[in-house]
Amino acid sequence: MHNTARAVYARYMASRLIAGFVLIAGVFALAAVGLGGSDDPDPVETASAAPAQTDAPDQAQETTAESADADEAPAPTTTAEPIEEPDNYGPRKDLVGLDGWLNTDAASLDEFDGKVLVVEMWTFGCHNCRARIPHTQALYASHSRDDFEIIGVHAPEFSHEAEIPNIEEAVERLEVTWPVALDTEKTNFRSWQEGGRRFWPRTYVIDQNGDVRYDHIGEGRYQELADTVQFLVDNPPAITS
């Protein structure tokens, strides 16, 4: 009887130990789902964050991202409360090596100089990029083209997202009406995010002098984006040579 009791107890403890390992593995799996790939040099993080798809050649370096503070509300209007002047992160980079533009006759980012610009790295297959679009549409509708513009830099994650007819169809279907720069070789996606991990979506605000005044990865912080744009429209920086 004693042997039987010990055997039952041993099986009980073994089952609890297995359940514990399964729970821990599940936690790590959930943590990895939202990360995608990464260009972090730590091989442990890179391996755990690799996405399941294998279509894109650079998945270990680049990832879609969703901010922890993503909100589901419609895009905000600017707040009535005053906000602090946004930080200045220095001059923007150019957009080079493009395969053309959609929704504009422009041929260069320089043609938008003197306006407040929202520049967003995105791709139509990215869920988090698509989730931003309704908020971006509302922001676009709230400002005149005289002093504000949005530039979507379309950089594909997978090969079918690099085909221009597919991009054109997605832009129309998703009702993206602002200018779209076709960065099909991801030249600018990489150069604008050099020195760190690269993400879809990533959103910048550029002031009238061409300086970066806002930088956000993933969804969320729509009110902060709207307030930054409004502040720069209302308080243009002194013109620099």
In this structure, how many other beta carbons lie within 10 angstroms of the beta carbon of residue 41?
7
Give the residue from 86, 83, 73 showing the smallest Cα distance to 116.
86
Cα 77 to Cα 81, 136, 141, 222, distances in angstroms: 12, 11, 11, 9
Residue-level pLDDT at 220: 97
Distance between CA atoms of 178 and 154, rounded to whole angstroms? 12
Pick out the chain residues at pLDDT < 70: 1-61, 66-82, 241
In this structure, how many other beta carbons lie within 10 angstroms of the beta carbon of residue 151?
21
Distance between CA atoms of 70 and 93, rounded to whole angstroms? 27
- Structure-token pair, residue 16: 């609890």
Cβ pair 77, 110 in contact under 8 A: no
Residue-level pLDDT at 5: 55
Q: Which residues contact 73 (CB under 8 A, 6 or more apart)?
A: 222
Residue-level pLDDT at 83: 81
Print the domain residue range for 13: 2-49
Tell the burial category of 71 from Cβ atoms under 10 Å away from its Cβ (0-12, 13-18, 19+): middle
Both 162 and 220 in one domain: the answer is yes
Number of structural domains (the chain) is 2
Residue 54 domain-assigned (yes or no): no
Both 86 and 129 in one domain: the answer is yes
Residue-level pLDDT at 169: 98
Residue-level pLDDT at 38: 29
Both 116 and 38 in one domain: the answer is no
Residue-level pLDDT at 9: 56
Residue 191 domain-assigned (yes or no): yes
Both 80 and 178 in one domain: the answer is yes
Residue 155 domain-assigned (yes or no): yes
Q: Which residues contact 81 (CB under 8 A, 6 or more apart)?
A: none
Residue-level pLDDT at 239: 83
DSSP 159: G
Both 42 and 142 in one domain: the answer is no
Cβ pair 139, 75 in contact under 8 A: yes
Residue-level pLDDT at 62: 82
Both 39 and 143 in one domain: the answer is no
Both 82 and 21 in one domain: the answer is no
Residue 120 domain-assigned (yes or no): yes
Looking at the chain, list the stretches that DSSP marks H as alpha helix, in order from N- to C-terminal side: 2-33, 43-49, 127-141, 164-173, 187-191, 222-234
Residue-level pLDDT at 183: 98
pTM, rounded to two decimals: 0.73
Cβ pair 61, 45 in contact under 8 A: no
Both 133 and 31 in one domain: the answer is no
